[in-house]
Structure 1
Amino acid sequence: MRVPISWLREYVEVTLPVDVLAEKLTLAGFEVEHIEYVGLPGSELPWDRDKIFVGQLLQVERHPNADRLLLATVDYGTGQPITVVTGAPNIRPGDSGQKVVLALKGARLYDGHKAGKVIMTLKAATLRGIKNDSMVCSEKELGLSDEHEGILILPDDAPVGAPLADYLGDVVLEVAILPSTARAASIIGIAREVAALTGQTVRYPPMDFTAEGEPIEGELRIEIRNSRLNPRFTAGVIRGVTIGPSPFWMQRRLALCGMRAINNIVDISNYVMLEFGQPTHAFDLDAVRIGPSGIRTITTRLAEPGEALTTLDGQTRDLQPTDILVCDEIGPLSLAGVMGGADSEVKESTRNVLFEAASWDNISIRKTARYHNLHSEASYRFSRGVHPALAMVAQRRGLHLLQRYAGGVISRGILDAYPSPAPPVRIALHPERVNKLLGVEMTVEEMTRILRLLEFEVKAEGERAQPGVAAPAPQPPRLMVTAPEHRLDIEGEHDLIEEIARIYGYDRIPETLMADALPPIHGNPALDFEERVRDLLVGAGLQEIVTYRLTSPEQEARIYAPNTPADHRPYVMLANPINPERTAMRHTLVSGALEVLTANLRHHARVAIFEIGAVFLPGSEGGLPEEQPRLAIAMSGARAEPSWRTHNADGAPVMDFYDLKGVVESLLDGLHLGEVTYEPTTHPTYYPGRTAAVRACDASGMLLGLLGELHPRVRDAWGLPADRPVLIADFDLEALRHAAARDYAIRDLPRFPATIEDLAIVVDEAVPAAAVARTIRQAGGALLRDLRLFDVYRGEQIGSGKKSLAYSLTYQAEDRTLTDKDVETLRAKIIRALEGQLGATVRR
């Protein structure tokens, strides 16, 4: 947010150098990201104090040799007026008295005839026979704006002869307004902080006005359909206004804050928003249509199906059911809290104005602005939260300025619909707790002083002893603190302590050693295991994601194929969800992984991701929710990123079930898990016949997780591509941790050579390859170092219902070189096991 120092001075004395003030604000939580100097030393183009002045036109004449040029005689306080040649279209022969900016020979200005900001030095020249060594300046030449169609006309009270740097020079602070400091998204908000930091009191602007019109109750009424979405709506009416330019000082302040002047009505609305942080809106009252009720009725409600609104930017927007609207009895007038409607905007023909200041639900405004990609100064503030109390403040300030600078007669009364006024926030503050948490020795008087500087009401109140209980040792009285109306962020004692610390100064809090020795560090096996899993999966080429822990039952239901059994376990529901899409704690990581996968496959040919996180189930007997750590893996797309090496006419091969199984095997191997089995299974999330349950090969047979290809109907429900498999794995992380070996042997590098041979066997089609591999490993024992399946064959040569599996076997001993006889013995043992246990035959 841009904060001009000249505007800030209207409400508080700026007694510190600008750089010191910026540092103090930053240390108090309002980071000053940049200091911009306008026309002063430190800017790109400072205005020369001895060459650029405030001048006054004495006379304007036609150039004797050019129809489009004028001769302007300018007084600039020296008693020796100077005549300049100008082509400015906003002055004409016979003019006099206007205040202008005069630049003398040698002044450095921006070239008004070139694109961008090109600095030039003013030189003498002869224009159509008239010598000219000075000029009257446009806004572009001074760097104030890009406006070059005419010279800058200053207010009548501009002091003739004053250096322009003294009159218009300024410093602008660019302050970062975080969501936690949204209360200060205004000039007065920053003024409150400056006042507190420098021990001052804020000077508030006048808000008085004279209301002499007809009572407003007889011509307007307000109806709020949902007070949660629209806590407060205020409206004032002013008739007989004159549309014209706003005063120069107001236009100047708006420009320094980055806003364009439009007309006096709109500028006043924007000015009040920047001043107090409360957005307002001006409607053309005559554009508010009268319906069947016979009286103009302003209704705030949610959009209805099929409604549309043309906003001030000229775009017609299809409204969503979550959009809040300001309507008359016929239809929408504005997109509440975001932008007004084109049909009810203030125009040159406007004579009667309805001035609105309201408060809106910040979540709804944020959602509307994001959906319509319509981010305005109003939505910026409302989406961060504006206290309803500010609505009436802005209303009164707006009417004051409208009456003064637009004329007109204000109707008697202000309509104020405030169904559920926010109660005052009162908090007990214990001084001893402040000193304990901050590590300082601060007096109660100092705490009280700081809070009052921040406009808190503070009252000392002694703790009452309980009857029959011995009085405790004397303690400082607790302070009963009432938060100011504009603060939405004060909820408890911790907030008050933070406010005291900010103004006291974090840099003043002494560094102290801990009173006790650091406790011994105890390892956390569960967290260590999670880190190990992360390292292994990243090493396998996957990227970690972190998704929302909040979801909705409807969202998670999408991971189950239609007409199949779903997860009917109860959810841990939020008591007061702020978003209808985040109403419950998640049951699974798969839903979040699919959401990320869907988004990323629109932009990438290959996506391989994983997430480690907790899922939540209701606790027993109403206790705390049960948190279960899980691991989800999601993969889809090309087996390798496309490149000149992988590209071919048929396209890069895509990942399938065995790519996912390879990642899982790599993970389990890295965790030094014992033998596991991959058993065919069914699940409503997975493709029938392409799903495996992973179980530990021990007496428990513990289920570790599932892996497989996503069910086609689930894939279609998520809008995932149908031309490639979507692969999902879901593991119980705690089961993996218990199954992983805590101690394992490290083998030396082999000193003796290995023997490698191939073995092809024929088994029934129903026999899984995992069972064959398990049998070979058991029979081979310690001398079988490695086993790799390299070919699967089905065909007439081996008969129907059969398949041939070809393995590469690696034999190796740690203490000797194996002989042919040793290898023959092992081979015979393996074949006997396969024949006896699986009915296999060796393929010759």
Structure 2
Amino acid sequence: VVSVEKHPNADKLKLPTVDYGQGRTKKMVTGAPNLNVGDAGQKVILALAGSVLYDGHATPKKLSELKPGKIRGEPSDAMVCSSFELGIDDEHEGIILLEEDAPVGAALVDFMGDVVLELEVTPNLARALSLIGTAREVAALTGQTLKLPPHTTPSQPSPDAGGGQEGRVNVIIEDPKLSSRYAAALLQGVKIGPSPGWMQRRLTYAGMRPINNVVDITNYVMLEWGQPLHAFDHDKLAARAGGKAPTITVRPARAGEAMKTLDGVNRTLTPDVLVIADEAGPIALAGVMGGAETEVSKTTTNVLLESANFDFLNIRRTIKTLNLPSEASMRFSRGIHPELVMPAAQRAAELMRQHAGAVVCKGIVDVYPAPASPQVIELKMSEVRRLLGMDFPIEEATRILTALEFQVERHGSDVLRVTAPPHRLDIQEGPADLIEDLARLYGYDRLPATLLADRLPPQTGNPALEFEERVRDLLTGAGLQETINYALTTPEREALLGVQQAEYVRLLNPISSERSVMRQSVLTSVLDAAAANLRHTADVRLFEIGHVYVSRANAKLPDEPRRLAVVLCGRRAPDFWGETDKAPAPLDFFDFKGVVEALVGGLHLPAPSYRRSSTPCLHPGKAAELLADGRVIGYFGELHPKIAESFDMAGRQVLASEFDLEALQATTPARHGYTAIPRFPAALRDVAVIVPEATPADQVEAEIRAGGGDLLRGVRLFDLYHGDSIAAGAKSLAYALTYQADDRTLTDKEVDRAHKKIQERLRHVLQARIRGEDQ
């Protein structure tokens, strides 16, 4: 800027003249508030006519070409640019003022152009959440030397552990487990203003909005070192302390305390939230966000700089409790070593001295009650060989670990004594952590492919898991799909089934009110899944195998038996193009029983039987229990209409079941006999039996089998009849019987004899009548 003149026709406009190299000058009109009449020497960004910029007056944001014209009577064919007009950010209150060494006449892309690398830092690499952390990894990978920015060597804690800088501030840590270290630096004579252009650009490229020099420096050092900082207005703290030296206390919030954070929100605090407090109350949420009452403002002249270390688990709880994530809390919640506190504080203090005119008071307060001990690990090269499958040279291991800033001492030909640097909080599991770094820097692609050299672990069977897999195979083979649901629910949800449950296992810290207890029924979960699926499809065939949790009297832990739940709803078969005039039949109880029989048959369950069930959640008369060896395995049937309505499936015919998987496994034989394919033909006979209406069909079948002896190989019910020839209160059941022998072809006499025994047994035991013979 050569000069700035007053606009003759507008009070808020100015006429700057700029030199843009090679003796060329340009005069234009601007309304920038940070360029004033009489100014000269500032370095600015100039756009000439024809440039394409963002229009600062257009809504929504759009690009437009800069054209020559007159503004309030003065010609203007150029523009000094703000960051908004250049598309850097949304700030257009003032133009960009570059640093003094910016070259006049240089293309902006040559001066400001940069490459921004966006890194996705995985949770196990929290040490890379800073420029230095990332550079340290790159240096080790490429064999270069890491160059740290200027900072003072970390000092030891103050002997008085809480004394002030010449009595201007005191620090108290109530619980070192929640805050292991707290440093406070006092900076006087601070001049609040914009931070240097290079710093603003770097912050912007990193996704942070420049605010002022003090706040920008704390953010810059956080991005540089990975240690979050916070700046308080010291005069505001002193005023809250009645003019005395403020005492900063790191403590849990007290019940009922509240504070207004920097985002303008009033927050009610709980005792699990760690706060920074003074005599008057909380002034910051430790490791998360500062408070509005003590924030740095345009009038700030004295700054108290905080650099501290907080327990990462407590920070995570605070984030969850207040739903308040931040750049600082993201770093603290992954763990930061307390040794970073002083380098970051000293680096920030030096930057504030350079760019905010601050005078740094001597004697930074450093409260560090229990300095952390370094992690020392003994690394045997034989263990490296065992895990990596190669002879790893001890010299190469020393080189790699040294490049990663580990301290390495060699003991003999096979052992390294390794001390982890402060930034490696992830070194917790001993040699395996170090070997992981050796493999990573050596190169996974260079590790040779080798056969397993270690001993094979013993292989033992898992009968419970193997049985579950058998059940899964059978049900998926029957056309069902497995679903996996939360094992958490509410007592009210399970009460919809109408079954009285035992005392629930309750969660101390539930993730939501809808998941407050451990379930006692898998069926509830599958019904919810079925209802959700039926909103999008006409048919569901679902099952789940999972644990339920039942409290035991005088026991610390509950029982966790396994259950199998099945839910069917929808059409018996898909729509058929040849029967468009027919509505597809819905699945019914007997379809469901067929699925149960397929499961029972596939498991070779011995002597399965069925009887009516009075389970409250099932439709009366359309419910049954499965038994094996006289033991109840579970229930199945049509869901009661009211229960279906409770689960948002009103008007649908829903089939549901729940089986005790432990009982099912206990009654399933581990092995079953092999039956050879018959070599001789079978003989077929039918028998129609008239019995009282209340007589179960399986009872009739049992008597048929008992009377048929070894020659009877198959019994199948194929007809149920009520008609004029059948008396009231009775029914006719027709069975197809298969007779066969393993060693011969049966004669008609043998078949007739066996068939007659069956008829006689039915007459004698059930007082049945044989249709066609006893009528």
Give the aligned partner of residue 151 of structure 2. 207
**Structure 1 residues 770 and 507, CA gap change in structure 2 (3 angstroms):** same
Residues 164 and 171, structure 2, Cα contact 8 Å, conserved in 1:
no
The Cα of 1:276 is off from its aligned counterpart by 1.6
2:198 counterpart of 1:249: yes
The Cα of 1:422 is off from its aligned counterpart by 3.0
The Cα of 1:478 is off from its aligned counterpart by 0.9
Give the aligned partner of residue 490 of structure 1. 427
- The whole-number CA distance in structure 2 between the counterparts of 1:609 and 1:347 is 62
Identify which range, 523-532 or 131-140, moves more after superposition: 523-532
RMSD of equivalent CA atoms: 6.0
Query: SS of the counterpart of 1:428?
Result: strand
Q: TM-score, normalised by structure 1?
A: 0.67
After TM superposition, the structure 1 = structure 2 runs for residues 650-689 of structure 1, keeping only pairs within 5 Å, are: 664-677=596-609
Give the aligned partner of residue 482 of structure 2. 543
- The whole-number CA distance in structure 1 between the counterparts of 2:472 and 2:379 is 45
Amino acid at match of 2:46: L
Residues 526 and 737, structure 1, Cα contact 8 Å, conserved in 2:
no
Alignment partner of 1:632 out of 555, 558, 563: 563
Amino acid at match of 1:632: R
2:669 counterpart of 1:739: yes
Residues 319 and 329, structure 2, Cα contact 8 Å, conserved in 1:
yes
The Cα of 1:357 is off from its aligned counterpart by 2.9
After TM superposition, the structure 1 = structure 2 runs for residues 717-796 of structure 1, keeping only pairs within 5 Å, are: 728-732=658-662, 735=665, 738-739=668-669, 761-762=691-692, 782=712, 784-787=714-717
The Cα of 1:150 is off from its aligned counterpart by 4.0
The Cα of 1:197 is off from its aligned counterpart by 1.4
- The whole-number CA distance in structure 2 between the counterparts of 1:166 and 1:516 is 58
- The whole-number CA distance in structure 2 between the counterparts of 1:774 and 1:421 is 80
After TM superposition, the structure 1 = structure 2 runs for residues 250-329 of structure 1, keeping only pairs within 5 Å, are: 250-285=199-234, 286-287=236-237, 296-319=246-269, 322-329=272-279
Where does structure 2 lack aligned partners over 5 or more consecutive residues? Answer: 512-516, 551-556, 576-584
Alignment partner of 1:836 out of 758, 765, 774: 765
After TM superposition, the structure 1 = structure 2 runs for residues 127-276 of structure 1, keeping only pairs within 5 Å, are: 127=70, 134-208=78-152, 215=165, 219-225=169-175, 227-276=176-225
The Cα of 1:172 is off from its aligned counterpart by 1.2
Query: SS of the counterpart of 1:632?
Result: strand
2:376 counterpart of 1:422: no
Amino acid at match of 2:325: H
The Cα of 1:248 is off from its aligned counterpart by 2.0
CA offsets per residue over residues 713-736 of structure 1, 9 Å max, x none? xx9xxx988999996444129926
Query: SS of the counterpart of 2:115?
Result: strand
Give the aligned partner of residue 125 of structure 1. 68
**Structure 1 residues 682 and 124, CA gap change in structure 2 (3 angstroms):** closer
**Structure 1 residues 193 and 762, CA gap change in structure 2 (3 angstroms):** same
CA offsets per residue over residues 534-568 of structure 1, 9 Å max, x none? 344445434332768xx99x9xx999999976699
Amino acid at match of 1:836: V
The Cα of 1:419 is off from its aligned counterpart by 4.4
**Structure 1 residues 207 and 735, CA gap change in structure 2 (3 angstroms):** same
After TM superposition, the structure 1 = structure 2 runs for residues 585-664 of structure 1, keeping only pairs within 5 Å, are: 590=519, 612=545, 631-634=562-565, 639-640=569-570, 664=596
The Cα of 1:678 is off from its aligned counterpart by 5.7
2:430 counterpart of 1:499: no
2:293 counterpart of 1:343: yes
Residues 233 and 359, structure 1, Cα contact 8 Å, conserved in 2:
yes
Residues 604 and 669, structure 2, Cα contact 8 Å, conserved in 1:
no
Amino acid at match of 2:662: D
Identify which range, 446-455 or 200-209, moves more after superposition: 200-209
**Structure 1 residues 515 and 270, CA gap change in structure 2 (3 angstroms):** closer
Residues 784 and 812, structure 1, Cα contact 8 Å, conserved in 2:
yes
Query: SS of the counterpart of 1:139?
Result: coil
**Structure 1 residues 382 and 823, CA gap change in structure 2 (3 angstroms):** farther
- The structure number with the bigger radius of gyration is 2
Q: Alignment identity in percent? A: 42
Amino acid at match of 2:419: T
- The whole-number CA distance in structure 1 between the counterparts of 2:258 and 2:20 is 56
After TM superposition, the structure 1 = structure 2 runs for residues 784-823 of structure 1, keeping only pairs within 5 Å, are: 784-787=714-717, 809=735, 811=737
The Cα of 1:305 is off from its aligned counterpart by 4.8
**Structure 1 residues 214 and 392, CA gap change in structure 2 (3 angstroms):** closer
Give the aligned partner of residue 386 of structure 1. 336
Query: SS of the counterpart of 2:118?
Result: strand
Give the aligned partner of residue 24 of structure 2. 80
Identify which range, 297-306 or 449-458, moves more after superposition: 297-306
Give the aligned partner of residue 553 of structure 2. none
- The whole-number CA distance in structure 1 between the counterparts of 2:618 and 2:278 is 52
Higher relative contact order (CA 8 A, sep 6+): 1
**Structure 1 residues 826 and 566, CA gap change in structure 2 (3 angstroms):** farther
- The whole-number CA distance in structure 2 between the counterparts of 1:657 and 1:326 is 66
Residues 250 and 275, structure 2, Cα contact 8 Å, conserved in 1:
yes
Give the aligned partner of residue 554 of structure 2. none
The Cα of 1:301 is off from its aligned counterpart by 4.4
Q: TM-score, normalised by structure 2?
A: 0.73
Give the aligned partner of residue 399 of structure 2. 449
Query: SS of the counterpart of 1:241?
Result: coil
CA offsets per residue over residues 181-235 of structure 1, 9 Å max, x none? 1111111110101111122232222334999x9636674232334x444344433
Query: SS of the counterpart of 2:210?
Result: coil
**Structure 1 residues 94 and 408, CA gap change in structure 2 (3 angstroms):** closer
Residues 542 and 608, structure 1, Cα contact 8 Å, conserved in 2:
yes
Amino acid at match of 1:145: D
- The whole-number CA distance in structure 2 between the counterparts of 1:484 and 1:258 is 29
Residues 675 and 696, structure 1, Cα contact 8 Å, conserved in 2:
yes
Residues 220 and 295, structure 1, Cα contact 8 Å, conserved in 2:
yes
CA offsets per residue over residues 315-343 of structure 1, 9 Å max, x none? 34444554333344554433333333333
2:410 counterpart of 1:481: no
Identify which range, 810-819 or 76-85, moves more after superposition: 810-819
- The whole-number CA distance in structure 2 between the counterparts of 1:167 and 1:613 is 63
Residues 246 and 263, structure 1, Cα contact 8 Å, conserved in 2:
yes
CA offsets per residue over residues 767-815 of structure 1, 9 Å max, x none? 88866665566667856554489899xxxx989xxxx888675556799
Identify which range, 558-567 or 395-404, moves more after superposition: 558-567
The Cα of 1:397 is off from its aligned counterpart by 2.9
Where does structure 1 lack aligned partners over 5 or more consecutive residues? Answer: 1-56, 463-475, 569-576, 583-587, 618-625, 646-652
Query: SS of the counterpart of 1:433?
Result: helix
Residues 529 and 737, structure 1, Cα contact 8 Å, conserved in 2:
no
**Structure 1 residues 512 and 686, CA gap change in structure 2 (3 angstroms):** same
- The whole-number CA distance in structure 1 between the counterparts of 2:747 and 2:269 is 79
- The whole-number CA distance in structure 2 between the counterparts of 1:517 and 1:68 is 83
- The whole-number CA distance in structure 1 between the counterparts of 2:367 and 2:655 is 57
The Cα of 1:260 is off from its aligned counterpart by 0.8
Query: SS of the counterpart of 1:215?
Result: coil
Aligned residues: 721
**Structure 1 residues 200 and 746, CA gap change in structure 2 (3 angstroms):** farther
**Structure 1 residues 320 and 633, CA gap change in structure 2 (3 angstroms):** farther
**Structure 1 residues 130 and 499, CA gap change in structure 2 (3 angstroms):** same
